[in-house]
Structure 1
Amino acid sequence: MRPARWATDGWRWFVERIELRTLIVLGAVAGCLWIFISIAEEVMEGETHVFDKTLLLALRNPVDPADPLGPPWLEELARDVTALGGIGILTAITLAVAGYLWLQGHHRSMWVVLASVGSGQVLSSLAKLGFDRPRPDLVPHGMTTYTTSFPSGHSMMSAVTYLTLAVMLARLQPTAALRTYVIALAIALVVAIGISRVYLGVHWPTDVLAGWTAGAGWALACWLMASSAETGAKENRR
């Protein structure tokens, strides 16, 4: 077989077996990885300090940086929102949805959820240890912190958890409107949690951006692997 024909046949074989949706997801995963690496490099080189400082102080009272913008109830609301990205809440929600999927007979989806969230937590912890970035010191922290700053664990794990759960649950919905609603709700929740971390002064903005991209990329990668495995299993049963 000539090399040109071999290449053409190989490309045709690839296109016939891969969906456009899969290509889009692959591109999104690659994009998330590229953005995360770019942010990490800038952070390690100290190039993001002005951006981080400006945005962090923009959410503070110009007269008293120790005071977040807005009334006292807004700061309390931010604490409530940020709690939704804590390890305790995320674990409880993950186990609850995993149990629901198991009882509904969606065992493969349940294992995808557990694997995605569990491995995501390990990855988040390793990243924090590797980068070892100090927490913001410009303003008082709105809540107690225990780990290093980069990437934001709340932002990353809320993205991994809520996006994975949303995709798995969306597949069970009968209409496109419901599927869109579930995924949009998860995205809104992830964004709100990330913003709350900066508002409370416990993370630099680039911590949150990196957490979002790493979490979204990991959730998409896990979904892609699960989807590919499911497709392969269906083809083997034919």
Structure 2
Amino acid sequence: MTIGPRESWRRDTRPGILVVLSGIAIVCFGGLWAMLTFWPRLVAFDHAVSATIRSMANPITDTVAVALTTFGGVTIMTALTIAVCAWFLWRNMRAEAMLLGVTMILGPSLGAIIKPIAGRLRPAIEYARIPQPSSLSFPSGHAIGAFLFFGTLVFLVLTVEERLRLRDKVLISTVCIAFIVAVSLSRVYLGVHYLGDVLGAWLLGGAIMTLTTGAYILKTSDRGSGS
């Protein structure tokens, strides 16, 4: 007997909770977007904090930041997504491959749509330590990609990979979170984004990931309850 979607929602409240969290993240994203557009004091604060991050320059951090921002770019993130999805498919984990693939297509695509609508300019070109992209600034595409890729991996490690010990799950999750923060802040350090662009990307990423993981839970719980 296969239960319907309504019964699935009654039996497992997690998808509903994630939908609520997604709504909260969307509201927060919209609020941040509006404040960075219409509240000069917040814009000035954002610029000041970003300038402080840029001021921590030295040759070692320059090298590390360039490596991180390259790692978080479209080419490597796309290759990693394809590789991990292929690994999931090889393990017959189709739902997990679909979760990661859909999330990594939806998030960056939505971010790219929002950029010209938000119309926020990047920091002045003299602050850039790498060639400045031609696209606009809000939200950060690198931060969205890193948040969604590594965030989805954290979700799957904590909920699906039952063979891993708790210590290993914590270690992998910590490394993934560190990559999210490091890749995102490298964009501010290198002078091609403001911190507000990164925070907006995290909020948008959170809104998307809670929706896609909620759909994944609903799909897999319904599949598991069928007989």
> TM-score surpassing 0.5?
yes
Native 8 Å contact 2:128 2:192 kept in 1: yes
Instruction: Kindly report structure 1 stretches of 4+ aligned residues shifted beyond 6 Å.
Output: none
Give the CA deviation at 1:74.
0.9
TM-score (norm 1): 0.83
Structure 1 residue 151: deviation in Å? 0.5
1:51 to 45, 61, 65: 45
Any idea what the Cα deviations from partners look like across 1:11-69, whole Å, max 9, x if unmatched?
A: xx8985233x4455344323322221110010121432211121122134xxxxxxx42
2:176 to 179, 186, 189: 186
Q: How does 1:65-76 map to 2 (within 5 A)?
A: 68-76=55-63
User: Which position in structure 2 is the counterpart of 1:119?
Assistant: 106
TM-score of the pair, normalised by structure 2: 0.87
Match of 1:5 in 2: none
Match of 2:207 in 1: 217
Corresponding residue pairs, total: 217
Which structure: larger Rg? 1
Identity %: 23
SS in 1 for 2:170: helix
The within-5 A match list for 1:46-195 is 46-47=39-40, 48-60=42-54, 68-137=55-124, 139-144=126-131, 145-170=133-158, 171-174=160-163, 175-195=165-185
3-state secondary structure, aligned to 2:193: coil
Q: Which moved more, 1:91-100 or 1:217-226?
A: 217-226
SS at match of 1:59: helix
Structure 1 CA distance for aligned equivalents of residues 64 and 82 of structure 2: 25
1:121-165, CA deviations, whole angstroms, 9 ceiling, x for partnerless residues? 211111112212111127421112131100011111111122113
Change (3 A) 1:132 1:15: closer
Which residue in the other structure is 1:37 paired with? 30
Structure 1 counterpart SS, 2:115: helix
Structure 2 unaligned blocks of 5 or more: 1-6
SS in 1 for 2:161: coil
- Cα RMSD, aligned residues only: 2.1
Assess if the C-alpha contact under 8 Å between 1:124 and 1:157 holds in 2.
no
Counterpart contact for 1:173–1:179, Cα < 8 Å? no
Question: 2:15 and 2:216 mapped to 1: Cα distance?
Answer: 12
